[in-house]
Structure 1
């Protein structure tokens, strides 16, 4: 395994969490999600995003509405459902716990490296 593969796997693991956070702020268009994820250096392509959005919709976590666009076809804007909000709260709790745990391990490693 090389570092690039490991980085891709780590990013994939948190992609759903990040997408739900973006949508939790209010109605959002898929290309705006792609733009924000890319700006945050969580590289994702449409071929990854749309199936994930469909899966989250089918799970009852998202809904969408069509909005007419003056510059082309109608746009699909996504919103969290109440179930999605509850799911995101659970993911946030898990993220907080994992973040603390990983930071604890990294801090000990860094301390050990400086003591050598």
Structure 2
């Protein structure tokens, strides 16, 4: 990784990861460790679990996710996260905003480098 890449990724993650989490729990309740594994899979969206649980707590406090405990055959009970109606509205707003934002950033970067499509 080029010096500065991690700093840039940190800033980008800060604005997007919570919406990625909402998308991951939108279809079915998901266990926290499963969310962490999916986010960390490529090392881009998340590098460790340490930031996920505070984020999940903030999403819960904001009313975007709700939780329930489920017994596990493989250890202690697990907390599952599910999207709420408010969380779904927030995710839908993000989806409407993301594509134009992404396209504008791509266009600005392409214009600066002279590599227009």
Using the size of structure 1 for normalisation, the TM-score is 0.86
Question: Match of 2:38?
Answer: 36
Question: Match of 2:26?
Answer: 24
Structure 2, unmatched stretches of 5+, are none
Structure 1 position 103 matched with structure 2 position 106? yes
Question: Match of 2:70?
Answer: 67
Matched residues, number: 113
User: For residues 21 and 93 of structure 1, what CA distance do their matches in structure 2 show?
Assistant: 13
Deviation at 1:113, TM superposition (A): 5.0
Q: 1:113 to 1:46 in 2, by over 3 A?
A: closer
Runs of 4+ with >3 A deviation: none
User: For residues 86 and 105 of structure 1, what CA distance do their matches in structure 2 show?
Assistant: 29
Structure 1 position 48 matched with structure 2 position 62? no
User: For residues 74 and 63 of structure 1, what CA distance do their matches in structure 2 show?
Assistant: 16
Query: Which residues of 2 match residues 57-96 of structure 1 at below 5 A?
Result: 57-96=60-99
Report SS of the residue matched to 2:79. Answer: strand
What is the root-mean-square deviation of aligned Cα atoms in Å?
A: 1.9
Deviation at 1:2, TM superposition (A): 2.6
Q: Which has the higher helix share?
A: 1
Q: Which has the larger radius of gyration?
A: 1
Using the size of structure 2 for normalisation, the TM-score is 0.85
